[in-house]
């Protein structure tokens, strides 16, 4: 039973444009969310996080939005760069299950010139 | 440089054999984790450990075993009881109670049953 879903397995975007990655979750108890970026043959690296007390968190070109009522979060990358081509995972956790993050299946982003 | 080292990068196992995947970190993190990645699926938690000599089952612990004798090391044994062990295995670590800063992951071990 997958509690975190990334329904778009892939996304192609032109360099300089905005990339929007989506993530839906089913567990209303989730209160902490992370995005990770993964290059081939490497482990995922932490990108950005957001807690349920916020609806937006920004870090440079990366912004995460959280819509708790819709159980939806999204990652915006503006502007997209060739180095952003990677797989992006969203992950969610609830306060009383520390250490147990649920991950989505990932979205492969390809940034084209 | 601090980080997590997983070895080997590629591992081949015969049916019925146990194999052990190594995970070592020099980040002084208290917590360590093992995840499994299969095509089209998210990362699934196998085991995690918050302190030395203690560990907890994750969502898919059956057929796996771990030990945490040292803070730096969290090896995973894939036993012959694991029905479908072919997968990409990721080890991670984090500061206890600071999970909001995210995990640091190793580069993974790809295990193939031959």
**Rounded average pLDDT over B89-103:** 78
A-B contacts (CB, under 8 Å): 68
Answer whether A2 sits within 8 Å of B42, measured CB to CB. yes
In 3D space, the residue among B101, B49, B88 whose CA is nearest the CA of residue B70 turns out to be: B49
- What's the mean pLDDT in B93-114? 82
Residue pLDDT, tens place only, B25-38: 999 998 999 999 98
Pull the structure tokens for residue B76. Answer: 């995973």
Q: Do B102 and A93 touch (CB under 8 A)?
A: no
**pLDDT tens digits, residue range A82-103?**
999 999 999 998 876 666 788 9
B31 beta partners: B94
DSSP string, B47-88: EEEEETTEEEE-TT-TTEEE--SBTTB--EEE-TT-S---EE
The pLDDT of residue A40: 83
Closest chain A residue to B109 measured between Cα atoms?
A: A41
Residue B8 confidence (pLDDT): 93
Residue in A closest to B90 by C-alpha: A43
Conformation bin of residue B63: beta by default, left when phi > 0, alpha when psi is -120 to 50:
left
* Cis-peptide into B8, omega within 30 deg: yes
Nearest to A99 among B43, B50, B90 (CB): B50
Residue B95 is predicted with a pLDDT of 81
pLDDT at B100 over 70: no
> What is the band of B97 on the pLDDT scale with cuts at 50, 70, 90?
low
Predicted confidence (pLDDT) at residue B99 exceeds the cutoff of 60: no
The predicted structure's pLDDT at residue A84: 97
User: How many angstroms separate the CA atoms of A67 and A59, rounded?
Assistant: 18
Across the range B78-94, mean pLDDT stands at 92
Rounded to a whole number, what is the distance in Å from the CA of B40 to chain A's nearest CA?
Answer: 6
What is the distance between the alpha carbons of residues B33 and B31, in angstroms, rounded to a whole number? 7
For the cut 60, the answer to whether the pLDDT of residue A48 exceeds it is yes
Residue A90 DSSP SS3? strand
């Amino acid at each position: 039973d997958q509690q975190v879903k990334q329904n778009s397995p892939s996304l192609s975007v032109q360099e300089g444009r905005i990339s929007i990655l989506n993530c839906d979750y089913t567990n209303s108890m989730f209160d902490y969310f992370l995005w990770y970026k993964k290059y081939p043959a490497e482990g995922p690296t932490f990108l950005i996080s957001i807690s349920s007390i916020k609806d937006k968190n920004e870090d440079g070109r990366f912004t995460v939005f959280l819509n708790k009522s819709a159980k939806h979060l999204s990652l915006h990358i503006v502007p997209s760069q060739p180095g952003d081509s990677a797989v992006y995972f969203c992950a969610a956790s609830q306060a009383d299950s520390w250490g147990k993050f649920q991950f989505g299946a990932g979205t492969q982003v390809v940034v084209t010139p | 440089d601090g980080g997590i080292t997983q070895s080997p990068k590629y591992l081949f196992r015969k049916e019925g054999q146990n194999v052990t995947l190594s995970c070592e970190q020099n980040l002084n993190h208290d917590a360590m984790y093992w995840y499994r990645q299969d095509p089209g699926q998210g990362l699934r938690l196998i085991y995690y450990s918050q302190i030395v000599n203690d560990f907890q089952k994750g969502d898919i612990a059956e057929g796996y075993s771990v030990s945490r004798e040292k803070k730096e090391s969290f090896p995973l044994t894939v036993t012959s009881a694991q029905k479908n062990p072919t997968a990409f295995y990721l080890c991670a670590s984090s500061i206890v109670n600071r999970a909001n800063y995210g995990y640091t992951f190793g580069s993974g071990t790809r295990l193939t049953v031959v």
